Structure 1
């Protein structure tokens, strides 16, 4: 045989041997986790230890099958056959991602492996509290807590491998009303709170039980039950809005706010030296009510002449009180401010408006009078009641003198029975109302109106026949023809005089109807 043939045969042998090594088959491997096929890099999330099923085969006998979990061998098989089937339930770490690695090796050196992860969530969530107390994750919170504030912030972080889906907080407040034991309950729920939470919970005075429940993806649930005692060692705070030091009105509005670190029970007021007192905020009992931590109040308070000492007292559910004192001086000796404006003739009658304010008056009336005869043409009682200093307004159309001036008379009777009078004269030609005592003669214009009496704002003629309805202060002087001063006081005028005036007006109206 030639050298060339020998070399060719050698090459074929080497090639054949080499080709056999390259194409040698590796074992086949399949794994299922609770009946679901696994693959390399796959992930499973379960709430219990899974059932693993392993199937392996090879052309050559299988030397070994090794199952490792978290790099620790948990199962080793030496079947010495070309196929193997094995099922078992490994013990996995809770709340951990467990790495599973299955390796198969045959007698020819072929190797096949598969690696995947199984997350086991078989433990209910934990909370590490940051507020209203501190606790470590995994440890139990305290069974009983004492606080001096009713509004508490509950905050903390969760520990759960799959995450908390629902957080619920229930508060039960135990209290007694009229000898009867009662429970006031409130509930809060947070969906998918994430890795942490923070929420405010209002607790009642005394005994409360807080239950905090967490539920994760696999319905693993944990409940913390904590008893809270709310003690109130601080009196409430009372804030009263600005009040007048002195007023001409017979009343004022008392307003403000009462607040407490726990809960307001009641707010009252009283006026020293009088029977005037009332409840501004009514008690609703001791049951937990977050709206009663701060409550507003507002009340109109009647005043008596002179100094009025008003006290506002707030009481909390623990019985502690705070009082704020305010002094308001009611000056009822001020002469009433009286005004007749816009007086003008209108189709055989006279139209006018006006007001009375300040002082303390019981009756207000308006009438029209014939200045030549003194006859009352028309009459109306505008106000008749308890003494007041609040603004009384009027707008009237009343009978007037034909083709001649008509006097509009405003009468005010104060709480002592003293009468004040304001008079405005209106003529058919111009309808202007001017103050006769002001010297506003109308510049020679005989059509100018006139006004007598004092103490009220009024309208005056301008000397040219045009009407002026500007008002001026009783103590002011703007340099114009309008004049204001104090009203005319008729001493001794009382209830009897008023009745005579009413009867006279009624007789005049009857006579006019007969005509």
Structure 2
């Protein structure tokens, strides 16, 4: 009995094993693979598509695939009953423009079940913009038809709403400006790529009417356009600021530098000095066309001054005609030309090789002073820079030892440059050793001889010992009579001209050869040098 019992136990165990193994294999879950528009999808994946997509389903089971069910957002849209071990089917989904949950359930003939769930978003709708600046609007609403602003520089910003990713936001500003003969349209475009959920762009609008077109597009090419209108009403005056114009200057000119700014844009800048009728242009107007560079304009002008206070008025005008003026007063303290002098009582020779020069520049504003000696040809023999400090001094004294010329006379040259940059020069002739000792210093006095060529040879009524073609020389004596010679010549001319008038003739009198009006020692011409009556021509 024990042996029979053992056999029965073994048989029962084998039956249990045989019955258990097939049951486990049959109960295995089916498999299901999904793809949307050719893109494989694992359970839980999400995909955005631009249109109704094609769903592909592949299923298999150990026995047979009894049923395949497709559900969209919980609603059954397709059922297949293949009755085969494998199945491959596809269908086009009709989806709304919002995220949809797609679920596929596969049932085997043995009662086993498998399922896969994904999310599909169909995006056929263009993005929306909810504007935040310079006005506010609802993303699904309509922006205002016209927006009035008082400044040209504005920030346009907003929030983006779309089922997919926004590819870009393109903003185009156009300003229509009236010119002298026609309208001028000035445009500027900005492109913001991959903005995410928000965008912000600074714009510069021109005075008057501006149109702004905003185009937003998603990754599937769905785009939406917003046309905005902005009106710039400028009632604010420009502003002027100066870069430290001095209240007092010793220069004859002054630079008036500064900046003109406006809440819209500057048109022109001009100035005038008190007493002038018309303004002088500094920044020329370029018209009302939108130009960001005209929001702030630098200006600079060198203005000539007159001695004393100078009232300089500067005007700035914007493109809307608003104007501001500022007054600056600059007192011009004119430089006094320095007086240069060499102290002759103290200046002296040193061993006959150098000159010890004393002198000064006074009553002026001196920025540079030098002393030099030159020879008779003007060549510099020696040089000393007394002062070149850059600052301006009223009085400068100097004492220098300079070399003398190796031969001939020596001249001391003093040069001073005033605060205006003008050079002033004075010269002093260095006395020779003999004149310094008081010897040989008297002026030579004596007769002056002037050689006058005779016209046509000797006169016909005077004998001549010269051969034909020779020159006759006449001598006149210097008369130092304080000007009597001039009157004598005049009287003689009067007699000659009177006789000529009576006889109606023309007289050639070369009197300029004898009279030097700058010389008090006048040489009288001899009678023989004057034209004789036989030479008078009718």
Normalised to the residue count of structure 1, the TM-score between the two structures is 0.64
Partner of 1:23: 25
Cα distance in 1 between the residues matched to 2:19 and 2:81: 29
3-state SS in 2 of match to 1:21: helix
Aligned runs of 1:110-129 on 2, under 5 Å?
A: 110-129=112-131
1:291 has 2:293 as partner: yes
- Counting matched residue pairs gives 390
Cα distance in 2 between the residues matched to 1:239 and 1:405: 58
Deviations 1:358-406 (A, max 9, x none): 79xxxxxx99999xxxxx9869xxxxxxxxxxx9xxxxxxx97946652
Cα pair 1:252 1:300 within 8 Å, conserved: yes
Partner of 2:457: none
Cα pair 1:74 1:90 within 8 Å, conserved: no
Partner of 1:509: none
Cα pair 2:409 2:429 within 8 Å, conserved: no
TM superposition shift of 1:321: 0.1
1:253 has 2:255 as partner: yes
Partner of 2:284: 282
TM superposition shift of 1:355: 11
TM superposition shift of 1:99: 3.4
Partner of 1:408: 413
Cα distance in 1 between the residues matched to 2:124 and 2:201: 27
TM superposition shift of 1:144: 1.9
3-state SS in 2 of match to 1:23: helix
Q: 1:143 to 1:377 in 2, by over 3 A?
A: same
Partner of 2:71: 68
Cα pair 1:232 1:262 within 8 Å, conserved: yes
TM superposition shift of 1:127: 2.6
Partner of 1:33: 36
Larger radius of gyration: 2
TM superposition shift of 1:154: 1.9
Cα distance in 2 between the residues matched to 1:116 and 1:84: 20
Cα distance in 2 between the residues matched to 1:277 and 1:378: 50
3-state SS in 1 of match to 2:244: coil
1:94 has 2:83 as partner: no
TM superposition shift of 1:266: 0.4
3-state SS in 2 of match to 1:17: helix
Aligned runs of 1:436-455 on 2, under 5 Å?
A: none
Partner of 1:217: 219
Gaps of 5+ in 1: 342-346, 360-365, 371-375, 380-390, 392-398, 414-419, 430-445, 447-502, 505-515
Cα pair 1:127 1:156 within 8 Å, conserved: yes
Cα distance in 2 between the residues matched to 1:369 and 1:34: 104
Aligned runs of 1:79-478 on 2, under 5 Å?
A: 79=81, 81-82=83-84, 86-94=89-97, 96=99, 98-275=100-277, 277-332=279-334, 334-337=335-338, 402=407, 406-408=411-413
Deviations 1:215-244 (A, max 9, x none): 322222222211111111211001123223
Per mean C-alpha deviation after superposition, the further-off stretch among 241-250 and 285-294 is 241-250
Cα pair 1:338 1:422 within 8 Å, conserved: no
Q: 1:220 to 1:357 in 2, by over 3 A?
A: farther
Q: 1:369 to 1:111 in 2, by over 3 A?
A: closer
Cα pair 1:367 1:377 within 8 Å, conserved: no
Deviations 1:42-68 (A, max 9, x none): 443321121113344546565532223
Normalised to the residue count of structure 2, the TM-score between the two structures is 0.62
Cα distance in 2 between the residues matched to 1:92 and 1:339: 105
Cα pair 2:255 2:303 within 8 Å, conserved: yes
Cα pair 1:408 1:426 within 8 Å, conserved: no
Q: CA RMSD in A?
A: 4.4
Cα distance in 1 between the residues matched to 2:192 and 2:431: 80
Cα pair 2:134 2:155 within 8 Å, conserved: yes
More strand by share: 1
TM superposition shift of 1:69: 3.4
Q: 1:337 to 1:257 in 2, by over 3 A?
A: farther
Cα distance in 1 between the residues matched to 2:97 and 2:90: 21
Cα distance in 1 between the residues matched to 2:19 and 2:425: 139
Cα pair 2:336 2:363 within 8 Å, conserved: no
TM superposition shift of 1:4: 4.9
